[in-house]
Each structure stands twice: as structure tokens, then as C-alpha cells.
Amino acid sequence: MSSVAVKPLRIVLAASEAVPFFKTGGLADVAGALTKALADCGHEVTLIIPDYTPLRQNKAGLPAVHDTGLQFTIDMNGRSVTGEVNWARYPQSTATVLLVRQAAYFDRGQPYGDAGGGYADNSERFCFFSRAVPEICRLMVLRPDVLHCNDWQTGLIPALLNSRYAQIAGFEQTASVMTIHNMAYQGAFWKMDMLLTGMHWGFYNPSHMEAWGSLNLLKTGLAFADQLTTVSPTYAREICTPEGGCGLDGLLRWRQSALTGILNGIDIDVWNPATDPLLPAPFSADNWQTGKARCKAHLQQRLGLASSPRTPLIGMVSRLVDQKGLDLIAGCASALLHRRVQLAFLGTGDARYESLLRDLAKRHPEQVSAVIGFDESLAHQIEAGADLFLMPSQFEPCGLNQMYSQRYGTIPIVRQVGGLADSVSHYDGTPAGLETATGFVFADYSMAGFSTAVEQALSAWQDAAVWNRLVRNGMHRDWSWQQSADRYVAVYHEALAKVASRKAENRL
């Protein structure tokens, strides 16, 4: 339960993916864990996500999904499109999950796209989803205090609340909050897609829905939402600069007083090395050596790497895209292999990075493993079995793997950006530094910067006492959602206060 006594709020969260149902990246972890954390604080929480039905059908361990019997229709540019609503109870929580079913839009092989890129009708699919969210709230009489939107797929919702739904019963007091998980994905589409939004053409202007000649759904959310958040304090500052704002920094500077950076937490029940059912041996901060050694041996065997307890094993679990610093890894790979380390990669993404890693593994089978695919159990086993974890990102709004790795006693090597800078403390080689250090952080996005951090890490690896301290420091850190959930609730109250004062002004 929350440490702060709060009046329970009716919160509706909207996201395009959420664990345990559908996941392609960190958004899913956050949408699921925040839902649970807010409900644990005593709030009435409903999470609304699309129902990519085939993707959940053979998944083990999911809660039962039921039909609500509710149907709704949205006019998509003159075409009536009907959706249905399924529901489930969020696991170990009082929160409800509503799954928006629309077979033509959501019964696909992946949530967003296939090998050829994003689906051609993504703007239509997610305009439909965004328009479904307030419509379902209306039909189910949810009367939300706060509608919390996440990323461009839900960016239209704050605009709808301020226009079509402004006068509708049940939305009089509803405040909107827009969370940016990644400025690099904005949902920018041909301007004629305005016709799918249900918004008046008058809003197609640079103060509202248009950016650089396109309809921009992230911008729409940022322009209309009462409060804005992003997933770390450092990223909140970075996106207000031309370097980090991906073309929307002007708007963000204008709205800076409404913007808060809140570091993500992690689901400490799911990511707990002492109880994780996906690990061959459990371990905790006080007895990590034996359990972690067994996890490492198991991982080396599973991946076909040489069985060698004393060889540093470096892991990486990632979407394989430019953001994640794969060009640095490519550039430093042969130097790394000369240092007699092992590398374990798990990821999917751009074809060129997939083949680069596959190729590396083929040429060095005892030293490098590359599993190209999405594998939840292997992700946990790499977090637990590796000694070091790589996240040399170009930019990183928050990043979750560096937190998972610290909790699993795996020392992260990260670049000093976004949430990585906010969650990893650099070991500078001094006894004072060792008191709090949890990893290795480098500033320059360059092969020299990255190699220096790797060298520092490998030299710390030689000293068992230093290593033990780094591992224990990381494992003892508190990554629970509690504090972050309290911060979101504070933001919700700021958003509600704004709505109340707007209403009061309108009454005058």
C-alpha cells in the first residue's frame, strides 16, 4: 500500500501493449506494472489495450479473458467499424483489463508490423483504438478522473477529450496525462489521415496536430494533454533540446512546466532472482555466488558456449535498432573477442543487425551466441547468468534491462543518457566510489568511450572483493514501483487541478 494517504482515483490507462498479454518492449512492462502498482495503492484502475487475439491464444499463464458482450461502432471516415470488448482481471491485482477486439485491425502476426516495416494501415488501426478508449469509457460508465495515455498509439485521446467528449456526461472532470516512452516514434502520417481521427480539420495546424507537414499523433497528445510525463528525469531534460527532441523540442519547451520525468520501476515480483521460476538456480544478494555460478554454467551450456566459469560472460537483450548502440558493438567486437570474453545476444529488429550478430556467432561459436527471436525465458536467464550487461545506447528514455541486470547481480555497462544515467552509478576505481557504484558509465558515443568502459569493467572483474561489492550494491537497490506510482498520482492531481481551474474560468 502507498506510504502516502491518497483519495482513491478512477484511473484509465491506455497503451498499445502490456504484460502479461502482449509485449514487444519496455512499454509493455511499464503499462502492466504501473497498472498493478496504482491498484495496489487503492486506486480503481482499468487498463485498456488492443486485443491482438492470435498473439495471446497459445500463451501459457495468462488470466482468463471473457467477452463483455459490449459492442461499439466508430465512424472511420464514413465507414462504420465495429469493435468488441473483452475483459480480464490483471494478475494478482484488483485492476481490470479491457481488450479492444477488432479482428481486421488487430488479428495480425505482430502488434505493429512485419519484416517489411510498420503495417500500412497503422494510423487507421491506432486512430480506431484511440477513439475506442473514450467511447468504451462512455458506454461502460467508467467516469474516469484521469485518462493516462502512453506513446503515439494513444496520442489522439487527449485531443478527443478536449473536443468531442468535452461536453459528454461522464467526462466533465476527466483530466488527461500523456507519457512519452520514446520520442523517436511519433506516429507521423499523411495529412489526409486527419479524416480518421474524428477531429475537425481546423486542428491540423502546428499548434495542435500537424508537425513538419504531417499528421503527428504523438504531438497531438503532447499539445492537448493536461500534464505530460516521460520515463526518466534526464530524458525529460534531453527532449527539450534540439538534439533530443526529434523535431518536437519547441513544443516541449513551451510545455516544459507541465512535463515531469518519472523513472520507471520494475515489477519486483516478476524480476526477482530469489523466486524467478525461469532460472535454474535461485539466488539473492547475500548468497549470490553459488546460484549465479549455476545460472552461468546453465546459460553457457544452453547457448553452446565454452563451459568456463572464469571467462567474463557479457549479455545483451535488446530490440536490434540504431537506438541501442549496435554500431558501437559491431565496431568493438573483434577487440572484445581478443579480450577472451564471451558474448550472449538475444534480440530481434533490423535485418542488418540480426545478420551482423548471426555472423559473429557463426565465426566464433564458442565465444559468441546470437539468438534472434523473442524469448522471455532466455531473457531472464541472460540477466541471471551473465556477469556483465551491455546498453551502450545512443539515447535511452529509461531502459529496464539495466535495472533487471542490477537486481540479478549483473554489472551494467551503459552510456550516460536518459534513464541509464539516472539508474546506474559509475565505479570510478576509488574506495569512496565503491560504496555506491553499481556499474560502468561512459559519456562519449564513440568506440573509444565504449572500449574504455569495457576495459574498466574487465579490470574490476579481476578483483573479487570489488566485484562482490558492485554486485551487492546493485542487488540491494530498490527498483519497486511504489515511489514512481506515488509520483504519477501527484501528476494526476496536478492534471485534475488544471481541469478544475479551467472549468472555473469557463463558468466566470
| Nearest distance in Å: CB 195, ligand GLC | 29
| Nearest distance in Å: CB 26, ligand GLC | 3
For the chain, the maximum distance between any two Cα atoms, rounded to a whole number of angstroms, is 75
Residue 122 interacting with ligand GLC (CB under 6 A): no
CA distance 297 to 282: 13
Of 368, 405, 366, the C-alpha closest to 383 is 405
| Nearest distance in Å: CB 5, ligand ADP | 31
Of 164, 183, 309, the C-alpha closest to 246 is 183
β-bridge mates for residue 171, sequence order? none
Residues from 21 through 50 that contact ligand GLC (CB under 6 A): 25-27, 30
Amino acid letter, residue 388: L
| Chain residue whose CB lies nearest ligand ADP | 26
Residues near ligand ADP, by CB under 6 A: 25-27, 29, 317-319, 346-348, 374-376, 379, 398-401
Q: Select from 158-166, 392-400, 452-460, 462-470 the region that touches ligand GLC (CB under 6 A).
A: 392-400
Angle at CA 153, nearest 5°, toward 397 and 248? 55
Question: Which of 400, 403, 411, 417 touches ligand GLC (CB under 6 A)?
Answer: 400
| Chain residue whose CB lies nearest ligand GLC | 26
Q: Write each residue from 240 to 279 as x if it is in contact with ligand GLC (CB under 6 A), else as -, in one continuous string.
A: ------------------------x---------------
Q: Write each residue from 464 to 483 as x if it is in contact with ligand GLC (CB under 6 A), else as -, in one continuous string.
A: --------------------
CA distance 351 to 354: 5
Q: Three-state DSSP class for 195? A: helix
CA distance 131 to 124: 10
| Nearest distance in Å: CB 418, ligand GLC | 7
Question: Which option in ligand GLC, ligand ADP, none does residue 336 bind, with CB closer than 5 to 8 A by kind?
Answer: none
| Nearest distance in Å: CB 446, ligand GLC | 21
| Nearest distance in Å: CB 363, ligand GLC | 30
Q: Write each residue from 204 to 233 as x if it is in contact with ligand GLC (CB under 6 A), else as -, in one continuous string.
A: ---------------------------x--
Question: What distances in angstroms separate CA 180 from CA 7, 151, 208, 390, 508, one per listed residue?
Answer: 26, 5, 17, 24, 34
Question: Which option in ligand ADP, ligand GLC, none does residue 231 bind, with CB closer than 5 to 8 A by kind?
Answer: ligand GLC
Of 348, 392, 391, 342, the C-alpha closest to 368 is 342
Q: What is the 3-state secondary structure (H, E, C) of 443-505?
A: CCCCHHHHHHHHHHHHHHHCCHHHHHHHHHHHHHCCCCCHHHHHHHHHHHHHHHHHHHHHHHH
Question: Which option in ligand ADP, ligand GLC, none does residue 439 bind, with CB closer than 5 to 8 A by kind?
Answer: none
Task: Say if residues 13 and 47 touch (Cβ distance below 8 Å).
Answer: yes
CA distance 103 to 142: 24
CA distance 74 to 128: 7
The cell numbers describing 472, all together, are 551487492
Question: Which option in ligand ADP, ligand GLC, none does residue 276 bind, with CB closer than 5 to 8 A by kind?
Answer: none
End-to-end Cα spacing for the chain: 40
Question: Which option in ligand ADP, ligand GLC, none does residue 318 bind, with CB closer than 5 to 8 A by kind?
Answer: ligand ADP
Instruction: Check residue 18 and report its DSSP letter.
Output: B
| Nearest distance in Å: CB 153, ligand ADP | 14
| Nearest distance in Å: CB 78, ligand GLC | 35
CA distance 214 to 204: 9
| Nearest distance in Å: CB 214, ligand ADP | 23
Q: Select from 35-43, 208-216, 391-399, 407-415 the region that touches ligand GLC (CB under 6 A).
A: 391-399
Q: Which residues bind ligand GLC (CB under 6 A)?
A: 25-27, 30, 181-182, 231, 264, 396-400, 419
